[in-house]
Protein backbone atom coordinates (compact mmCIF):
# COMPACT_ATOMS: atom_id res chain seq x y z
CA UNK A 1 0.00 0.00 0.00
CA UNK A 2 1.09 3.53 -0.69
CA UNK A 3 1.64 5.65 2.39
CA UNK A 4 -0.69 8.64 2.71
CA UNK A 5 0.69 11.87 1.32
CA UNK A 6 0.33 14.92 3.54
CA UNK A 7 -1.65 17.64 1.80
CA UNK A 8 0.35 20.62 0.69
CA UNK A 9 -1.02 24.13 1.22
CA UNK A 10 -1.49 24.54 -2.53
CA UNK A 11 -3.61 21.42 -2.87
CA UNK A 12 -5.86 19.77 -0.33
CA UNK A 13 -7.23 17.28 -2.87
CA UNK A 14 -6.58 13.58 -2.52
CA UNK A 15 -3.99 12.38 -5.04
CA UNK A 16 -5.73 10.91 -8.07
CA UNK A 17 -5.51 7.16 -8.46
CA UNK A 18 -3.82 7.42 -11.87
CA UNK A 19 -0.85 9.29 -10.39
CA UNK A 20 -0.67 6.84 -7.47
CA UNK A 21 -0.80 3.88 -9.86
CA UNK A 22 1.93 5.44 -12.00
CA UNK A 23 4.15 5.87 -8.94
CA UNK A 24 3.54 2.29 -7.86
CA UNK A 25 4.24 1.01 -11.39
CA UNK A 26 7.49 2.98 -11.45
CA UNK A 27 8.53 1.36 -8.18
CA UNK A 28 7.65 -2.10 -9.55
CA UNK A 29 9.77 -1.56 -12.67
CA UNK A 30 12.64 -0.19 -10.59
CA UNK A 31 12.52 -3.16 -8.23
CA UNK A 32 12.32 -5.56 -11.18
CA UNK A 33 15.46 -4.01 -12.67
CA UNK A 34 17.26 -4.21 -9.33
CA UNK A 35 16.21 -7.83 -8.89
CA UNK A 36 17.43 -8.65 -12.39
CA UNK A 37 20.83 -7.12 -11.63
CA UNK A 38 21.07 -9.12 -8.40
CA UNK A 39 20.08 -12.34 -10.16
CA UNK A 40 22.77 -11.75 -12.80
CA UNK A 41 25.43 -12.19 -10.11
CA UNK A 42 24.17 -15.62 -9.04
CA UNK A 43 26.03 -18.59 -10.49
CA UNK A 44 23.70 -20.96 -12.33
CA UNK A 45 26.00 -23.91 -12.93
CA UNK A 46 25.90 -27.07 -10.90
CA UNK A 47 23.46 -29.85 -10.19
CA UNK A 48 20.45 -27.55 -9.79
CA UNK A 49 21.03 -25.42 -12.87
CA UNK A 50 17.92 -24.53 -14.83
CA UNK A 51 19.79 -24.59 -18.12
CA UNK A 52 18.51 -22.61 -21.11
CA UNK A 53 14.98 -22.38 -19.72
CA UNK A 54 16.25 -20.59 -16.65
CA UNK A 55 18.24 -18.18 -18.80
CA UNK A 56 15.19 -17.43 -20.96
CA UNK A 57 12.78 -16.76 -18.12
CA UNK A 58 15.09 -15.07 -15.63
CA UNK A 59 13.95 -11.60 -16.82
CA UNK A 60 10.30 -12.56 -16.42
CA UNK A 61 10.97 -13.83 -12.91
CA UNK A 62 12.76 -10.58 -12.00
CA UNK A 63 9.84 -8.53 -13.37
CA UNK A 64 7.28 -10.56 -11.40
CA UNK A 65 9.38 -10.34 -8.23
CA UNK A 66 9.56 -6.54 -8.62
CA UNK A 67 5.79 -6.36 -9.06
CA UNK A 68 5.20 -8.60 -6.03
CA UNK A 69 7.57 -6.58 -3.84
CA UNK A 70 5.88 -3.32 -4.87
CA UNK A 71 2.42 -4.80 -4.25
CA UNK A 72 3.51 -5.89 -0.77
CA UNK A 73 4.45 -2.35 0.19
CA UNK A 74 7.66 -1.83 -1.75
CA UNK A 75 10.67 -0.02 -0.40
CA UNK A 76 9.18 3.44 -0.03
CA UNK A 77 9.93 4.70 -3.51
CA UNK A 78 6.32 5.09 -4.70
CA UNK A 79 5.34 7.79 -2.15
CA UNK A 80 8.40 9.87 -3.09
CA UNK A 81 7.63 9.51 -6.79
CA UNK A 82 3.98 10.40 -6.14
CA UNK A 83 5.00 13.59 -4.33
CA UNK A 84 7.12 14.57 -7.34
CA UNK A 85 4.25 13.83 -9.76
CA UNK A 86 1.90 16.00 -7.71
CA UNK A 87 4.49 18.79 -7.49
CA UNK A 88 4.93 18.72 -11.26
CA UNK A 89 1.16 18.78 -11.79
CA UNK A 90 0.87 21.80 -9.50
CA UNK A 91 3.66 23.53 -11.41
CA UNK A 92 6.20 23.58 -8.61
CA UNK A 93 9.40 21.59 -8.28
CA UNK A 94 9.90 19.95 -4.90
Residue, of 48 and 33, whose pLDDT is higher: 33
pTM given for the model: 0.72
Count of other CB atoms within 10 angstroms of residue 66 = 21
C-alpha 36/C-alpha 61 separation (Å) is: 8
Which residues make beta-bridge pairs with 11? 8
Q: Which residues contact 18 (CB under 8 A, 6 or more apart)?
A: none
C-alpha 39/C-alpha 37 separation (Å) is: 5
Q: Sorting pLDDT into bands at 50, 70 and 90, what band is 8?
A: very low
C-alpha 74/C-alpha 2 separation (Å) is: 9
Q: What are phi and psi of 11, to 5 degrees?
A: -145, 120
Domain range summary for the chain, segments of one domain joined by +: 17-40+50-90
Which residues make beta-bridge pairs with 8? 11
Q: Are 94 and 87 in contact (CB under 8 A)?
A: yes
- 9 has pLDDT over 70: no
Residue, of 90 and 7, whose pLDDT is higher: 90
Amino acid sequence: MIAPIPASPASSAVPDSKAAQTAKSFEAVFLGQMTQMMMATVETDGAFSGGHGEEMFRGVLAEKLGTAIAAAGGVGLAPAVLRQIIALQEGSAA
